Structures are given as structure tokens and as C-alpha cells.
Structure 1
Amino acid sequence: MSEQEGRLVVAAAIVDDLARPSRLLAARRSDPPELAGGWEFPGGKVEHGEQPLDALHRELREELGVAVEVGAEITGPLEGRWALGPGLSMRLWLAIVVDGVPAPLEDHDELRWLGPGGWSGVPWLPADVAVVEALISRCPSARV
């Protein structure tokens, strides 16, 4: 799917260490109502003419008030992307916070650091469950 065929969402799996992540930041949606209460990876839609990584940095500043260092992309089964729903797909990268303290500034009402063995311990939005499972299998330090 090209970026013109559907809306691209970019997101970050914010972890404590790019080489050996053991903690993962989850964000609980407050809006829109149909997603409220579900947990997800912070990020958002790529604007027309915007590069995906530029969008990721912008979204994380807006939503969490942080700057990040981006690590490896966690590729999904759909041409490297993850399906989010009709007309929406997501690209996701590992990232660490390099400036600021994450806070739920926009679209979220709570953030939670999930420790080893607990990455699946919140009710993730359905589209993110497969991503969490892929992250756990990729990151041995995330397991107990």
C-alpha cells in the first residue's frame, strides 16, 4: 500500500534502552470516544507532504512533550506496516526519550511504564496486540 492509497500512521514503542529494552511506555487513549480507555503506542497521522520520521518527531512533541532518538523499525506483515483498520496502516519504531519527561498532553489521559513480563499487562487496542506480541518476541529483556 502506498502512502497515497491510505492514511499512514507513525508510532513509537518508547523503551528504556534501544539495545536491551526492558520497559515500554503505553499511552491510554482519551479521544475519540470509540478508542477511549484503550492503550496504544503514541504517534499519529502523517500529514500530506510530510516524511514519516518527521511526523513521528512532531507527534511525540505534541502528544507527550518529548524528543526521542529513533531506533530500529518494527516491521509488520503488510509491506512492513501494521493494519489499523480500513484505509489506515502504521509504521512503528523503537525510540528512547532524549529530552523531556513524557506527559499525556494530547489524545491520552494516562501513561504507564510496563516492566519486564508486563508488556501485555494493559488492554491494548485490538490493532496493537500483534505489535506488542512481535515486540515481546523480539526483545528477550522484556520477558521475566
Structure 2
Amino acid sequence: MTERIMVVAAALFDGDRLLAARRSAPPALAGRWELPGGKVESGEAPEEALVRELREELGVEAEAQDRVPGEWPLKPPYVLQAWRARLLPGSPAPKPLQDHDELRWLAPTEIWDVNWLDQDVEAVREAALRGAGNGATSHDAPAPAPRQHPPSS
């Protein structure tokens, strides 16, 4: 059996706004939106990987908080886990430095306005249910828009 490779994604909040990052690479994913993050390196804890990836991809200093419930399969052997995260005081504003060409802070009513990568949809939904940790409950999270998965032609 092949060992799983963990990929971590950050549900990075600013108040009640969630950060979305638009992929610029690889070509198959370009133009779609994701929670920023990346692969956990050998010997690295997921929370450490998340902090490192946010520094590399966005140029920010952040802190991993709690894990978003769930785990989502990616292309084998990769598996996605998401963590709520927050910017540390004094951190610069996020900038798209690697693999992204645009960032957006999405208010709760805007979360489904972007075309999320299929594998991020459930992670985003779970993260939105929990919000920034300020007492958000499941009825606070907006439902995904029907266009999230456009009909095939």
C-alpha cells in the first residue's frame, strides 16, 4: 500500500472574511480558486507545513489554529486536510507569490462567488461553517451556489 502524502490548506480568516487564492499553475488548475497551502514535508507536522506554505506562497506570518473536520482525497496518494489559521500581528498583507495570480478576501455572502477547485469545495464548506472561531454556527454559513459545478455539455 502506498503511503499517503498529506496536503494542508489554510482557511485563513480576517474577521469573517475567508482568503481565496486563484491558481496560476499548473495549467489544468489555472483560473480556479483554492485555500492556500501545500504538501507536508517528511518529518514536518501539518501545522508547521501550513505556516511554512503561507510564508512561501503569500509572504505572511500566520498561526495554525484548529483542524477543520474532514479529510478529502486528491489525486492518489495525496489527501487534503484544512486548518483554520490567522495572521499574526505585524504580518504583512498577503500577496500572491507562488502558484497564484490573485487573492480575494470573501465575505460570508461571497464565498461561493468564485470557482473553487472541486477538491476544495467540501473543505471550504466546513471552514465556512466554523467561521473565524467567533461563534459561527452552521446556519451562518451560506449554501453553495448551483453554478459551483457547471453542467457538462
Which residue, out of 108, 127, 132, partners 2:100?
108
Question: Aligned letter for 2:92?
Answer: G
Query: 1:44 matched to which residue of 2?
Result: 38
Give 5+ residue unaligned stretches, structure 1: none
2:136 aligned with 1:138: no
Which residue, out of 58, 83, 86, partners 2:73?
83
Report 1 or 2 for greater relative contact order, CA contacts < 8 Å, sequence distance ≥ 6: 1
C-alpha separation between the residues in 2 aligned to 1:118 and 1:109? 19
Query: 1:64 matched to which residue of 2?
Result: 58
Query: 2:82 matched to which residue of 1?
Result: 92
C-alpha separation between the residues in 1 aligned to 2:19 and 2:102? 10
Query: Equivalences for 1:16-35 in 2 at 5 Å?
Result: 16-17=14-15, 22-35=16-29
TM-score normalised by length of structure 1:
0.84
Give 5+ residue unaligned stretches, structure 2: 143-153
Question: Aligned letter for 1:136?
Answer: A
CA contact (8 A) 2:50 2:64 kept: no
CA RMSD of aligned residues (A): 2.0
CA contact (8 A) 2:108 2:128 kept: no
CA contact (8 A) 1:115 1:142 kept: no
C-alpha separation between the residues in 2 aligned to 1:108 and 1:9? 17
Q: How far 1:136 sits from its partner (Å)?
A: 2.8
Higher share in helix? 2
Name which one, 1 or 2, has greater alpha-carbon Rg.
2
TM-score normalised by length of structure 2:
0.80
Query: How many pairs align?
Result: 134
Query: 1:11 matched to which residue of 2?
Result: 9
Question: Aligned letter for 2:50?
Answer: L
Question: Aligned letter for 2:56?
Answer: E
C-alpha separation between the residues in 2 aligned to 1:10 and 1:138? 17
